[in-house]
Amino acid sequence: MDGTLWDASEEVAHSWQEAIQASTITDKVLTKEDFMRVMGKPMDELIETLFPELSKTEQKELLEDCCKVENAYLQEHGAKLYPGIEQMLADLKQEYFLAIVSNCQCGYIEAFLEHYGFGKYIADIQCFGMNEVPKGENICLVVDRNRLEDAVYVGDIQKNVAEFHGYSMTDEKDMKRMLKAIPVNPSECSFLDVGCGKGICMKCAVESGYGKVAGLDLDKHLLGIAKKNMSILKMDVRLINANAVDFDGYADFDVFYFYNPFGRSVFEQVIEKIKESQKTRNRDIWIAYYHPVFSELFDRAGFELKNEVKDKTRDTTTKFYYMPKLK
């Protein structure tokens, strides 16, 4: 929202100063410039950046007070709406499903919609305050619960795009390190990259000696790029255009790679289908899960966490899960 639909930095600074003046926690004076530096950050990062001198308890209490005053102020007064926003929303609404995802507190998006009467254009909303997870993960949740097959994210902060894991590429060197950490004989195993994108992980799997390599993706455009890339590299891989929930070929594969290609609900269904595929072909199953946002789903499904390797490119890890063949 901020920096995309409106500029509320001055109004937020004003409302927070009102809340601070009524508080006994601090007498710090905040400016519009202070808020322009932190707009778009998750609320826990925002309050810590603005008030590093306060304890966690004091930060939490002050944040609650400030957000309450802020929501009421914005609902009554609004902020600086960018030119042409309503016409743009009205035009897009004619053909597209529109949702707002923000790192804000609960009530902030609602205040925006209520003040301008924009609720008629927006079909869904999600914010940090609802579940305390970053915007990238919330984008996945909105895509998942509304069963969107093709989604476009528009925003003003590059980090949000990187957080949207389903559209981010694994570093080649990191991928090769991950593959080496899986204790299998690659020549005797088949590998499936679920959400394969342009094919970099398939390339690494082929170069690592896997006997059969495939990639599954719902996006035909990305698969087209992957096909061209594999052709240039003269690599024999299988490209599968399918919805991961509907795909029935998991029994053909032993090793699976995930980099958060979808939200929690879809992920849970896919994990169950992989587990059930043992009944079709009984074998050991290995999972390499990069940036494990939903790792508890594998724990819950009965997979055993065998290893965890820290990434050298990004500040994250890969978890390696194992399920032995049925007895």
193-229 per-position pLDDT tens digit: 999 988 999 999 999 999 999 999 988 888 998 999 9
Q: Which residues contact 22 (CB under 8 A, 6 or more apart)?
A: 65
Choice between 11 and 150, residue whose per-residue pLDDT is larger = 11
> Domains of the chain: which residue ranges?
6-77, 80-167, 172-323
The answer to whether residue 157 scores a pLDDT higher than 70 is: no
Residue 74 scores a pLDDT above 60: yes
* 40 burial via Cβ count (<10 Å: 0-12, 13-18, 19+): buried
Give the pair of three-digit tokens for residue 178: 């991950």
Q: State the chain's mean pLDDT as an integer.
A: 89
**pLDDT > 70? residue 167:** no
Q: Which residue has the tokens 């006994």?
A: 24
Cα(146)–Cα(235) distance, integer angstroms: 36
Domain 172-323 in the same topology as domain 80-167 = yes
Local confidence band at 156 (pLDDT 50, 70, 90 cut-offs): low
Instruction: Output 16 or 144, whichever has higher pLDDT.
Output: 16
Give the mean pLDDT of 64-77: 94
Lowest-pLDDT range of 43-52, 151-160, 173-182: 151-160
Residue 161 banded pLDDT, cuts 50, 70, 90: very low
Residue-wise pLDDT tens digits, 264-303: 778 999 999 999 999 999 999 999 999 888 899 999 999 9
Residues 131/125, Cβ–Cβ less than 8 Å:
no
Residue 263, pLDDT > 50, answer yes
**In this structure, which CATH number among 2.170.190.11, 3.40.50.2300, 3.90.76.10, 3.40.50.1000 belongs to the domain 80-167?**
3.40.50.1000
Of 268, 296, 289, 303, whose CA–CA distance to 170 is shortest? 289
Kindly tell me if the per-residue pLDDT of 164 is higher than 70: no
- 37 pLDDT higher than 90: no
- Is 172-323 CATH 3.40.50.2020? no
Mean pLDDT of 116-136: 88
End-to-end CA distance of the chain: 53
Determine the pLDDT at residue 182.
96
pLDDT tops 90 at residue 132 = no
304 within 8 A of 272, measured Cβ to Cβ: no
- Reported as half-sphere exposure (CB side, CA atoms, 13 A), residue 90 has a value of 6
Inform me whether the pLDDT recorded for 163 exceeds 90.
Answer: no
Dihedral sign, Cα of residue 264, residue 39, residue 17, residue 73: negative
